Every structure is written in C-alpha cells, then in structure tokens.
C-alpha cells in the first residue's frame, strides 16, 4: 500500500491552521529497513505550543457549555473520519511502526470503538456525577440547597505512545476521554509515527469542524526534541497531562507538571513487569496451553505492550521444567520482529547485554542474532532462581521488547515473591480449583501491587469496557487512582463544582430543577432522573 502520500504536509496543526516555524525537520523511518520516508516533519517551537494552548483555553469555555449531544456527535464524527481514511491510515501506520496491517486494522477498530463508547457515556450523563441536596431549613445548622457536578478541567496535553500509533496515540484513549469531558486537547505526536499522527489529527480536526466546534478544540504538535514536550507541560493554560510511555520520560513530565507554580496532574502510564504466577497445579495440568499463551503474549507487537508479561514465576519442579521448555521451544521458533525505532532496539540490546552478565542469570533463549534485518530482534528468555531475583534490583526493571525472565520458585515462596514486586499494571495467576485456598492469599497480596488481576489468562489485550482498569501503583503509573482505558478514564479530566442556593436560571442544565437533559442525579440520597421541586 502507499504511504507518505501527498495528503501529508509535515506541519504542526494549530487551531485550525498549519504552522512550520522551525527549520530543522525529521522524517519517519521504516522499522523494517531503517530507511527514511519522504515527508519532512517540523518540530513545534515554544511559540507554536503557546499558540495551541491559548487557542485551547479560548475553546475551553465554549466546550464546557456544550450540550452532551454535541460532544457525542463530535466523538462519533471523529471515529467516522478516522475510518474514512481507509487504507491510507493503515498503510502509513504500518510503514512507520511495522506492526502489520491486521494488527493496525484491529487497533483502528478499537480506537473508533473507544470514541463511540465515550459518545454513549456522554449522552447518558452519568459522568457528570450530579448530586443534589435540596434545602433543609429545619436542620441544625439550616442546610442550603447544594448542587454538585463535574466540569471539564480545561486544556489537556496528550502525549502519544510509540507502541500503539492509534489507540494510545493522537486519537487514542487520552484524547477521547479528555474531549468527552469537554476539554480541548493538544496532542504531541510521537516521532516514531509522525505521519500517522498527522492523518489522525486531521480526522479529528475535520470532525470538530463538522460539529461546529471552535478551532482551538484540537491541535497537534510534532516533537522529536524533548523541549516540545516540556513546553507543553509548562504551558500555563494546560491544566492536565495524559502520557503513555517510558518510566524515565513519564517521571520527568510528572516532576515538571507537579513542580509548576500552579501544579497540574500528570497521568503517566509507564508500563510495568506484569508478573505471571503459575501454581504447581496449573503447571502440571496445562503446561502447553500456558506456554503457548505466554510466548504469544510476550511477543505480541514485538513485546512492546505496556502489559507485556516480563516475569513468570514457575514452580521449581519437573512440571515447571517442562513448562519452561515448552515456552522456550515456541520462542526459538518465533521469527525476529522489527521494533518501533532504533532507540528502543538499542536500549533493549544494551539492557539484555548487562542482564545476561548478572550473577545467577541463565540465558534459556538467546534472542538477537547479528543477522537480524532492519530493527528486528528475536525473543529472549532468561531464567533465575527466586533468591537471585530478590537480591538483584536490575531484574525488577522492565525489558521493553520481546524479552522475559523466568523465576523458579518453591510454591510456598510465591507470597514472598509477590511482596517483593513493585507496582504493575497487571498481575496474573494460573491455578486450579484445588488450590483456591493458597491462591486466595496470593491474589490478595497481588491486589496491592497491580491495577488488574487476571485469572488463567494473559495480560496483553486490554478490553475497552466500563469495568476496565488500566493503571496501577507507581511505578506503573503516577496516579494509581486513575485508569487510561475504559469509560472511567474521563474522571482524570473533570473537577467538581458545587452551587449553593443558586437560582434555577443560573444553574447549568445538568443541575436545573426540571433536569432538561434527563441525566441521572443523586437527589437527597436517591438516584433518579426525575425533576426536583424546591
């Protein structure tokens, strides 16, 4: 398929216009070959970032007072526009990420599904979390009429992730949830897929235009230099940040945002180890099934998922030996896959080089060979004993890419292993019914360490659902209280406001007596969509 088409201009898309203030440019690179594309992309200047933020601040007032139906129509229009890009979008994304057309088509479906799920949420109005307590003059002290709802926080900066060029990037969950909340968005494109980002941004901008929204509703800046991201987080008008990416960058942005004169929340989702625990019963009963699932999960998208399982605790018995052998066989047969960019590839090679040298680390599947083409790497499997893991902090660092560590442990030490872990997005337990008593305690301990607990499954594949939680204790994220997937992700970009004794005419529609929007409200302790009488 074609890529780098004439529709790409390489410009920053700011408040409805194109802008190219900086002379230095960069190009997308094909991970399969290391060759550059033909379009030159312009990093944004600080002045361009400021302009996007100012336009967003102006748009914020308009968006905050829109009818939910208008926001919903805009989100659906954005999904429609993304789909209307057809093969152009998939070809560009595949050229820039080498993730493959099947995966990318699935990711587009997920991305559009997310936008439409937020449209539905917004129409329902539950996200306003409206609460009304009517006046009680007989109380001591007398209670005023109080009405509370959530309103948008204002302009949001969204940092696209390299590993999901759609679902966690410019048109992804952070953007969808911020727009759904009524917040203007300034998206920073990831330099590994600048063209995909430009196409996606144009789709959202077209949708905003069709919906009659102000120009500042959505802007996109390119940023290969870290200074672009810094300028965005420091822009005074920006009120919250959504980020998916590495611990190093996530923490740096968090520190910048919380260190501002006016601190702002930085919701950084930074990936994690996603430990998998295999019980003796499960290893004995289902070694092949677990091995197939594990090998598939750790190599999905070349191991570049935030939820890639990086550690697997396997019983130190013969069933465990068999399980490790089964995983190894599958990994040895697995072909090398291209990583997203040269930096990720080199970082993994360097880290693996160091890890393999550590005392007590056995290399089970060797991984990269000198002959790999482009940025491709074959999967690596290392093995240690639990005591080595407990004594070696480097083994508790994420190896981003197709690499994983087997930890052999006596089953009675699984709890000790769980307690030694840091925060993760997920934790997985494979077990059988006869072991529920022991596994109950393990599950409880793992709850302290992870945002999502998976039973007899694998952590990759994060369903977009109301009950989803994609988050977890630090260092998995900088805000364990929030999710970046699922409809509750909207809560990151809202804040409450309460009205006391306000006349009906001065209340927002959500809180008016008649409930003209028909939203569910907690009125004097009961959830209802009925009107309120004073």
Angle value at C-alpha 279, between 274 and 281, nearest 5 degrees: 150
Smallest distance, its own copies to C-beta of residue 532, A: 11
Burial (CB < 10 A; 0-12, 13-18, 19+), residue 235, is: buried
Smallest distance, its own copies to C-beta of residue 434, A: 12
Which residue lies nearer to its own copies by CB, 352 or 446? 446
Distance in angstroms (rounded) separating the CA atoms of residues 219 and 217: 7
Which residue lies nearer to its own copies by CB, 284 or 522? 522
Query: Alpha carbon 48 to chain centroid distance?
Result: 26
Nearest to 181 by CA among 206, 148, 147, 156: 156
Smallest distance, its own copies to C-beta of residue 424, A: 12
Angle between helical axes of 86-97 and 68-84 (0-180°, round to 10)? 70
Question: Can you give 127-159 as a three-state secondary structure string?
Answer: HHCEEEECCECCCCCCECCEEEEEEECCCEEEE
Strand 362-365 to 380-385 pairing = antiparallel
Q: How many beta carbons lie within 10 A of that of residue 35, not counting itself? A: 12
* C-alpha gyration radius of the chain: 25
Residue 362 bridge partners (DSSP): 383
The one catalytic residue in 50, 123, 198, 306 is 306
Which residue lies nearer to its own copies by CB, 61 or 226? 61
**DSSP characters over 471-494:** --STTSBS-TT--SSSGGGGGGGE
Distance in angstroms (rounded) separating the CA atoms of residues 44 and 275: 39
Which residue lies nearer to its own copies by CB, 26 or 254? 254
Which residue lies nearer to its own copies by CB, 284 or 507? 507
SS3 525: coil
Smallest distance, its own copies to C-beta of residue 412, A: 19
Distance in angstroms (rounded) separating the CA atoms of residues 45 and 235: 12
306 a catalytic residue: yes
Site of tokens 């992309």: 41
Smallest distance, its own copies to C-beta of residue 161, A: 20
Q: How many beta carbons lie within 10 A of that of residue 445, not counting itself? A: 17
Which residue lies nearer to its own copies by CB, 29 or 130? 130
Smallest distance, its own copies to C-beta of residue 25, A: 36
269 a catalytic residue: yes
Smallest distance, its own copies to C-beta of residue 61, A: 7
Smallest distance, its own copies to C-beta of residue 483, A: 6
Strands (E), 205-258: 218-221, 240-244
Which residue lies nearer to its own copies by CB, 18 or 136? 136
Smallest distance, its own copies to C-beta of residue 156, A: 13
Q: Sign of torsion, CA 351 357 362 363?
A: positive
Q: How far apart are the first and last CA of the chain?
A: 64
The one catalytic residue in 96, 123, 198, 269 is 269
Which residue lies nearer to its own copies by CB, 62 or 206? 62
Six-digit token string for 39: 């379009």
Distance in angstroms (rounded) separating the CA atoms of residues 63 and 224: 30
Query: Alpha carbon 213 to chain centroid distance?
Result: 26
Q: Dihedral, CA atoms, 105, 110, 112, 116, nearest 10 degrees?
A: 160
Distance in angstroms (rounded) separating the CA atoms of residues 493 and 179: 9
Smallest distance, its own copies to C-beta of residue 341, A: 27
Which residue lies nearer to its own copies by CB, 371 or 503? 503
Six-digit token string for 513: 């007596």
Distance in angstroms (rounded) separating the CA atoms of residues 450 and 429: 12
Burial (CB < 10 A; 0-12, 13-18, 19+), residue 496, is: exposed
Which residue lies nearer to its own copies by CB, 304 or 494? 494
- Catalytic residues, by residue number, are 269, 306
């Amino acid at each position: 398929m074609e890529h780098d088409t004439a529709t790409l201009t390489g410009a920053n898309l700011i408040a409805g216009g194109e802008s190219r203030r900086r002379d230095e440019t960069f190009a997308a690179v094909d991970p399969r070959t290391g060759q550059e594309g033909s379009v030159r992309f312009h990093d944004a200047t600080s002045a361009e970032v400021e302009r996007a933020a100012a336009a967003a601040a102006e748009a914020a007032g308009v968006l905050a007072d829109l009818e939910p139906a208008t926001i919903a129509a805009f989100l659906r229009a954005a999904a429609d526009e993304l789909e209307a890009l057809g093969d152009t979008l998939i070809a560009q994304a595949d050229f820039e990420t080498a993730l493959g057309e099947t995966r990318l088509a699935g990711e587009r479906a997920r991305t559009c599904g997310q936008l439409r799920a937020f449209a539905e949420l917004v129409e329902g109005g539950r996200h306003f979390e409206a609460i009304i307590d009517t006046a009680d003059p007989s109380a001591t002290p007398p209670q005023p009429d109080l009405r509370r709802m959530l309103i948008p926080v204002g302009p949001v900066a969204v940092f696209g992730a390299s590993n999901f060029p759609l679902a966690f990037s410019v048109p992804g969950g952070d953007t969808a949830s911020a727009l759904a909340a009524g917040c203007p968005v300034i998206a920073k494109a990831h330099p590994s897929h600048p063209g995909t980002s430009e196409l996606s941004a144009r789709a959202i901008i077209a949708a905003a235009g069709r919906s009659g929204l102000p120009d500042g509703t959505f802007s996109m800046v390119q940023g290969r230099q870290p200074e672009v991201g810094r300028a965005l987080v420091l822009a005074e008008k920006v009120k919250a940040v959504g980020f998916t990416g590495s611990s190093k960058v996530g923490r740096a942005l968090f520190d910048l945002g919380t260190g501002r004169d006016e601190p702002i929340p930085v919701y950084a989702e930074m990936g994690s180890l996603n430990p998998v625990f295999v019980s003796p019963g499960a290893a004995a009963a289902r070694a092949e099934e677990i091995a197939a699932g594990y090998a598939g999960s750790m190599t999905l998208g070349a191991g570049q998922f935030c939820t890639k399982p990086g550690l697997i605790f396997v019983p130190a018995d013969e069933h465990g030996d068999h399980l490790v052998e089964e995983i190894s066989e599958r990994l040895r047969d697995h072909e090398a896959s291209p990583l997203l960019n040269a930096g990720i590839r080199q970082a993994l090679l360097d880290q693996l080089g160091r890890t393999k040298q550590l005392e007590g680390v056995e290399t089970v599947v060797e991984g990269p060979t000198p002959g790999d083409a482009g940025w491709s790497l074959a999967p690596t499997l290392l093995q240690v004993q639990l005591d080595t893991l407990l004594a070696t902090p480097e083994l508790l660092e994420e190896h981003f890419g197709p690499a994983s560590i087997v930890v052999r442990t006596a089953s009675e030490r699984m709890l000790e292993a769980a307690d030694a872990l840091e925060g993760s997005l997920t934790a997985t337990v494979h077990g059988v019914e006869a072991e529920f008593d022991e596994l109950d305690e393990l599950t409880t301990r793992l709850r302290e360490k992870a945002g999502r607990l998976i039973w007899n499954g694998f952590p990759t594949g994060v369903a977009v659902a109301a009950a989803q939680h994609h988050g977890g204790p630090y260092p998995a994220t900088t805000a364990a209280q929030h999710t970046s997937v699922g409809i509750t992700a909207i809560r990151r970009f809202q804040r409450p406001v309460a009205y006391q004794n306000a006349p009906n005419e001065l209340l927002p529609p959500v809180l008016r007596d008649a409930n003209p929007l028909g939203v569910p409200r907690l009125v004097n302790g009961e959830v209802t969509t009925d009107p309120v009488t004073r």
